[in-house]
Chains A and B, each alone.
Chain A
Amino acid sequence: MRRALWRALPVTTTPEGRAIVTTVLDVELISVTKRYGNTTAVSDISLRIPRGSYCCLLGPSGCGKTSTLRMIAGHEDISDGDVIIAGQNVGNLPPVKRGTAMMFQNYALFPHLNCVDNVAFGLKMRGVGKAERRAEASKLLAMVEMEKYAARLPAQLSGGQQQRVALARALITRPKVLLLDEPLSALDPFLRGTMREELKRLQRELGISFIHVTHSQEEALALADLVVVMDHGIIVQSGPPQEIFNRPATAFVARFMGGHNVIRQDSGAVAVRADRCRIGMMDSALVGAGGIGGAVCSIEYLGTVVKVGIETETTGEVVALVPDDQFFASPLTLGETTRLTWATADAHPVTL
């Protein structure tokens, strides 16, 4: 079960006999809009999610990410635009007809059914016989390492265990796309890390697309092949995680992803990663490339790095993450006037 790919990647053979993987989309959104009365939750967004991707919809609360997910799931009507799943325009089809399955934020396990019957629910609705559906459900429980708890009721499980059952229940109908609504937000930090690895592993093994809604940039960076940053109902930037982190398109993305200074200059605003910034004259190679003066307003020792805050006149507080050895080689004191510098290649223009 664990090793079996549910869907092989689409492979075509070139005339020379070389196999190439063609890009096929699992989900495509075309000018999708969601309105609730007079308010627009999602405004004319378009997105292409290639087959077998781990896609994270990332943004602050109220940015439209959950509405987008629910429209893909078929739990919310689409006000305008088209949702295409595996080549089929799903319009207002019910969830099962779309080939999607959703894992709910609060897990939404049926409290009166034990684990195996919760997982088997989708098959029961399709009229699969009791023995057969339970056998299949047991396989899925084994996949999420919950087979020992098959006879337990959801109330007798911990949050992490409930989540595994919910995952098995969502996967039993063999969806083409799994939709996850803030799946890790209710877990404690340790479990969150474990479940994160597990989600990624499952996604790779099953070869299906996962669309994962989150407000944690860390989660998105760790999991996604495709990060979609949303704000105020629009997609601000989408791309691979390194691209989003290293080259934020707007000041909002830079601030939301964290670890960046957004610095206003005469030529326009730029974003510079805080760990690429240096202080004063410590690194002569950087002198003159880019810099801003100010007074040291905070010093925090974080172990491997020291976080130095500098209050500037033009942009307010900026931050440098200085490796600890460099910092202690020539320590700074609070109130001292200094310069924050960076290499030109590290400064990326952003729109405010």
Chain B
Amino acid sequence: MSTTTDTAAARPAASVKKARPGGSSAGAWLLATPLAIVLGIFLVIPILMLVIVSFLDYNSVQILWSFVVQNYIDAVSSSATWETFAVTLKYAVITWAITLFLGFWLSYFLAFEVRGAAWQMGLFLVCSIPFLTSNIIRTISWIPALGRNGIVNSVLLHFHLIHQPLTFLLYSQFAIILAFVHLNTLFMVTPIFNSMMRIDRTLIEAARDNGAGFWQTIVNVILPLSKTGIGIGTIFVITLVMGDFVSVSIMGGGQSASVGIMIQNEMSQLQYPAAAANAVILLAIVLIMVFLILRVVDIRKEL
């Protein structure tokens, strides 16, 4: 309460400078409270529990209340863990590269080639239609298309383009990457499109006036001014792919590993502390990646 009176008393002086950044007025705290409560209950407390559990001992039937670092030692000393992290990272990087390529050019087309805001927004909404169904369903629906007797193989066989069904289409790394790209491209398109829509059209004309050709304009004007969108899209795609286990288990047919699947397996064997330790390691790796991206791109520009 005293804060309120202080602020009120200080108002005549403060009104000259307008709102002080970082000022601790009661109103500001009140406004921040609902989000703080939601994030506290649904983010901070679960992560704290995760961290605590990761330091607990366990046997085959229960968690034992004693502090150990054995879970982390087990995780980092196992070559399987390293390989799993490596393969997950590989999926993330390949998916990122493909979605970036697609996202950039789709956004470029929407932002600079399509004329009229109505068409731009219309086509952009079309991009988001697949998101009306769950991503598990969207992943599963690839199976009839890519399977041994699926649509793709049937068509290719029918036109005698192949003589044996292609087996790499499903339950393979190809299938996993395909699903990831399908699921995540929009997360790249949206922020890049947003960045590109903010680029003043006369800048393109100014570049042309200064003698820039198409590629020179892309490299020297559009790409640097889309950097923020690319950064945000990269964060989305990397975090979604690093944490995935559904797409990998469906499209990999149980033969491919990912950190998500590894954690899920440990949980199904009631090894909660081991799962928690791997989850904390994964979280740390993803946070480091996000931190590095933020070092390169100032996303506050977009807000």
Residues of A near any B CB (own CB < 8 A): 73, 75, 94-96, 101-102, 104-106, 108-112, 121-122, 124-126, 169-170, 173
Contacts and interface: CB of A to CB of B under 8 A. Distances in A.
B208 A104 contact: no
Given A104-B206, A121-B210, A125-B212, 4 more contacts: A73-B209, A75-B205, A125-B213, A173-B210
B158 to A, nearest CB: 48
B225 A95 contact: no
A246 B211 CA distance: 42
B282 interface: no
Nearest to B223: A112
B200 A106 contact: yes
Contacts, number: 58
Contacts of A122: 210-211
A95 B202 contact: no
Interface string B218-237: 00110011000000000000
B200 A101 contact: no
Contacts of A95: 208-209, 211
Residue with the highest number of chain A CB atoms closer than 10 Å, among B205, B211, B216: B211
A173 B207 CA distance: 13
B210 A104 contact: no
Contacts of B140: none
Q: Considering the complex of A and B, which 6 residue pairs feature the smallest CB-CB distances, nearest first?
A: A96-B211, A108-B206, A122-B210, A108-B202, A125-B211, A95-B209
Residue with the highest number of chain B CB atoms closer than 10 Å, among A96, A105, A126: A96
Nearest to A112: B224
Contacts of B200: 106, 108
Contacts of B225: 111-112
Contacts of A108: 200, 202-203, 205-206
Contacts of A101: 209-210
Contact of B202 (A106, A112, A121): A106
Contacts of A73: 209
Contacts of A94: 208, 211
Contacts of A111: 203, 225
Contacts of A124: 220
Residue with the highest number of chain B CB atoms closer than 10 Å, among A75, A104, A121, A173: A121
Nearest to B204: A108
Contacts of B224: 112
A252 B302 CA distance: 48
A110 B208 contact: no
A94 B214 CA distance: 12
Given A112-B225, A121-B220, A104 B211 contact: no
A108 B203 CA distance: 5
Contacts of B210: 96, 101, 121-122, 125, 169, 173
B205 to A, nearest CB: 6
Contacts of A106: 200, 202
A124 B224 CA distance: 15
A333 to B, nearest CB: 51
Residue with the highest number of chain B CB atoms closer than 10 Å, among A73, A102, A105, A108: A108
Nearest to B213: A125
Nearest to A126: B211
Contacts of B208: 75, 94-95
A94 B204 CA distance: 13
23 contacts: A75-B209, A101-B209, A102-B206, A102-B209, A104-B206, A105-B202, A106-B200, A108-B200, A108-B205, A108-B206, A110-B220, A111-B225, A112-B224, A112-B225, A121-B212, A121-B220, A122-B210, A125-B207, A125-B210, A125-B211, A125-B212, A125-B216, A169-B210
A73 B210 CA distance: 11
A110 B221 CA distance: 7
A158 B210 CA distance: 23
A155 to B, nearest CB: 11
Contacts of A105: 202
